[in-house]
Amino acid sequence: MEQKQHQAAATANHEHRELVLAAKARSPKEAAELLAEHPAAVIATVLQDLTPALTQDIIAELPGGLVDGVMHAAPPEVVAQWRTNAQFAQGTIGRMMTPARAVFLPDITVRDTIEQLRPLVRTAIITYGYVIDSAGKLLGIVTMRDLLFAEDHMPLESVMLHNAFYLKPGLPLADAMRLVLGRHYPVYPVCDDNGKLLGMVRGQTLFEEQAFEITAQVGSMVGVEKEERLATPLNTSFKFRHPWLQINLATAFVAGAVVAVFQDTVDRLVILALFLPVLAGQSGNTGCQALAVTLRGMTLGELKAGAERALVLKEASLGALNGAFTGLVAALGMFIVASYQHNPNALVLSFVVWIALVGSCVASGISGAMVPLTLKRFGFDPATASSIFLTTATDVVSMGLLLGLATLLV
C-alpha cells in the first residue's frame, strides 16, 4: 500500500511539472485552454509555480466560474497576492510582485530575527530582511551577512542598510530596467509613493520578462508575433506569419522593377550583375546595424525626445565612412574583374561601384534609423515591419545607383 502511495505521489508530481512546463511554453490564452481541462485545485497549484505576471495573464483568460473555483482552492495568502497583482496594469512592476516574507520591526534584536528566519528559510528563498515601521513604511534592509556578523543583542535599526533602493508598483518594466541596470541586486523591494512596503520582485524575473520582450520584438520583425510560442497551433502560426511574407514579396517586386528599368544597361554591361548582390548585401548589413541600434535605444528608453535628428545624422555619417572604405575594396574588385575581361571602361566602372556603395550605405544608414522612428510616429510597432521596409529601401537604392550611374557614365 505504501509503495502504491509513493508511486501515485510521484506520478502526480510528474504531471504537475509537465503542466507547469506546458503553461510556460504557451501563450496565456493557450495555457488557459490547457489548464481549463483540469480541476480547479490542480490549476491553483500550477499557477503558484508560474511567474506572477504570467499567472495574472492566464487567470484573465480563464472562464469566470473556473476562476472562482481556483481562488477557493488556493491558499488565502496566495489569493490575496493574486488580487494585489491584478490591480496593476500589464507590464508593470506591481504585476510581477511576490510577498515580502522576511519583514521585521526596527527594535527587534538580531537573535530574535534569526529565530524568526529559521522556519521561513524552510519554505522560501530569503535574500534580504525588510525593516518597516508600525505603518508599514520601509526603513531599511538587512542582509544575511550583516546578521551573521552582528552581535545578538543589537537591534535591527543599528544593523540595517538605510535609504534602501526600491521600485514602485506602477513603474513600467522598461523604466524599471533602466533603473536597475547599474545595480544588479538579486531582489528589489516594491513600495508605494509613501514608501510603504507592498512586496518584492526578483531581479531574475525582471530580466526574464525583458528578455522575452526583446526576443519578441526580434521575432515580430519577420512576422513572428509575441503571442506565438513553440506550442502554437499550425493554423495560428500561419495567420501570424503569412501576411508579412506577402508584403515582403510585394516589396521584392519593387526591387526587381528597378533592375527591369535598366535592363538595357545590364545586357550591355553584364559585369554589373556580379556586383549587384555585393552592393545589396553590404548596404543591407549597414542598414541592419543602424536598425538594431535604433530599436535597442527605443526599447531601453535611451532615445530621448529631440534626439532623432542627431541619430539620423550619425547613422548617415557612419554609412558614408563605412561605404567609403568598403567601397574601395569593391572598386578594386571591379577594376580587377573588368581588366581581366579587357573591358575598356574598367576605371570608370570602378568609380561607379565606389560611388554607388557610398551612396547606398548612406541611404541604408538613414533608413535603418528613420524606418522604426516613422513607424512609431504613426502608432505602429517599430519592430513589426522595419526589416521588410529596410530591405526594400536598401535594394532599390543600391541597385538604382549602380545601374543608373553606369547608364550615365559608361
- Please give the Cα distance from 150 to 235 (Å, whole number): 62
Instruction: Work out the pLDDT band at 218, boundaries 50, 70, 90.
Output: very low
Give the model confidence (pLDDT) of 229-273 as tens digits. Answer: 555 677 777 776 777 677 777 777 777 787 778 878 777 777 787
The C-alpha atoms of residue 138 and residue 89 are separated, in whole angstroms, by 23
Q: Would you tell me which CATH number, out of the four given (3.50.50.60, 3.40.1360.10, 3.10.180.10, 3.10.580.10), belongs to the domain 103-214? A: 3.10.580.10
Alpha carbons 313 and 103: distance in angstroms, whole number? 53
Same fold? 103-214, 234-409: no
Residue 319: CB partners within 8 Å, gap ≥ 6?
Answer: 286, 290, 361, 362, 363, 364, 365, 366
Choose among 349, 326, 330: nearest CA to 339. 349
CATH of range 2-86; options 1.20.140, 1.10.220, 2.40.160, 3.40.1800: 1.10.220
* pLDDT at residue number 28: 84
Confidence (pLDDT) at 141? 94
Out of 77-91, 219-233, 341-355, least confident range: 219-233
Q: Which one is predicted more confidently, 39 or 219? A: 39
- The residue among 170 and 209 whose pLDDT is bigger is 170
Residue range 234-409, CATH number? 1.10.357.20
Residue 294 grid cell: 535604433
Q: If pLDDT is split at 50, 70 and 90, which confidence band does 206 have?
A: confident
Q: What is the pLDDT of residues 265-294, one digit of tens each?
A: 777 777 787 788 888 888 888 888 888 888
Contact predicate 266/259, CB 8 Å: yes
Backbone angles phi, psi at 226, to 5 degrees: -65, -30
Contact between residue 176 and residue 53 where contact means Cβ atoms under 8 Å apart: no
Q: HSE on the CB side for 2, CA within 13 Å? A: 0
Asked if residue 366 lies in contact with residue 286, where contact means CB atoms within 8 angstroms, the answer is: no
| SS3 call for 132 | strand
Alpha-helix runs per DSSP H in 25-51: 28-35, 40-47
Residue indicated by cell numbers 516589396: 251
Q: Are strands 138-143 and 128-132 parallel, antiparallel or unpaired?
A: antiparallel
How many angstroms separate the CA atoms of 75 and 70, rounded? 10
Q: What ranges do the domains of the chain cover?
A: 2-86, 103-214, 234-409
Give the pTM. Answer: 0.54
